[in-house]
Amino acid sequence: MAAARVEGSDQQELLELAIEAAKAAGELLRERFEDGGELDVASKTTPTDLVSEADLASQTAIRELIGARRPDDAFLAEEEDADAAGSSGLQWVVDPLDGTINFIFGIPLWCVSIAVRGAEGTIAGVIHSPMLGETFSAARGGSLLCNGEPIAPSRRRADSLAEALVATGFAYSPPVRAAQADVLGQLIASIRDIRRCGAAALDLAWTAAGHFDAFFERTVKPWDTAAGALLCECAGLEVHELPERPGLPPGILAAPSALAGPLLEIVG
């Protein structure tokens, strides 16, 4: 089925559904988080790549809510058995709990990320952080919003690499982590500082909002970045794919124009 084109009120309707689903899942997760965390945890690709019952419960809640409203849409999500074909030309791309390790360890830096894609790419996206009370959202061609209000461009954003606060994340594979450490060794001397918060979607939202000057990470998946990349584009940032390099998988970089080129020279 060919991807569909969506504009105007239909685009806004999709955004509102994404926000509703993210908040519903976020409330479920918040209750579990405040109850003391997760005891039923399993490993996926490596011992550091974890999935909890909370991930699965959140994904089920999102899929059921969206599926009830839009049964013909495709659905792609992080956890098991979550790639469903559709006939409408639209696809929902979902990370039901980004920052699972933070969630399990009682660190409130985690979020729900939901995007919907069509012929023109990502149409709408939302990143909801229940514990911080922040819901970032955007529709293609529109403004970046937080809790429904436009976010003014950050006046603190760095104009040079030496002033830049850069966020990143690390792979689960030990050899890839070692290669990433080499890149950080080259980068750290050129920037103000580095932050690693543990949730790529939230990092992208905060980069869009101006809390970070730039963000890059490798080994990310579509559900990590689909919503966040759109938020960054709507905030006027450049979003680049990082090509595969020896020892390093592909990735993503989001930064203002003044920083994108210099950063790509080091991390690209």
Q: Mean per-residue pLDDT for 29-45?
A: 71
pLDDT of residue 80 exceeding 60, the answer is no
Token pair listed for 97: 């709990």
The domain defined by 161-267 carries CATH number 3.40.190.80: yes
pLDDT 10s digits, 226-257: 999 999 999 999 999 999 999 999 999 999 99
pLDDT 10s digits, 203-214: 999 999 999 999
Check: CB of residue 189 under 8 Å from CB of residue 75.
Answer: no
pLDDT of residue 48 exceeding 80, the answer is no
Residue type at 44 in one-letter notation: K
Distance of CA 148 to the CA centre of its chain: 18
Q: Out of 43-47, 95-99, 131-135, pick the least confident.
A: 43-47
Task: Select from 102, 100, 108, 2 the least CA-distant residue to 50.
Answer: 100
pLDDT 10s digits, 97-127: 999 999 999 999 999 999 999 988 999 999 9
Q: Mean per-residue pLDDT for 16-23?
A: 98
Phi-psi region of 188 (alpha: psi -120 to 50; beta: other; left: phi over 0): alpha
**By percentage, how much of the chain surpasses pLDDT 90?**
81
Domain ranges of the chain: 8-150, 161-267
Token pair listed for 186: 């080259």
Do 8-150 and 161-267 come out as alike in CATH topology? no
Exposed e or buried b for every residue in 185-206, given b needs 16+ CB within 10 A? eebeeebeeeeebbbbbbbbbb
pTM of the model: 0.92
Check: CB of residue 22 under 8 Å from CB of residue 135.
Answer: yes
Which CATH code of 3.40.50.300, 3.40.640.10, 3.30.540.10, 3.40.630.30 fits the domain covering 8-150? Answer: 3.30.540.10
Give every strand in the sheet of 149-150, ordered side by side: 83-84, 74-77, 91-98, 111-118, 121-129, 134-139, 145-146, 149-150
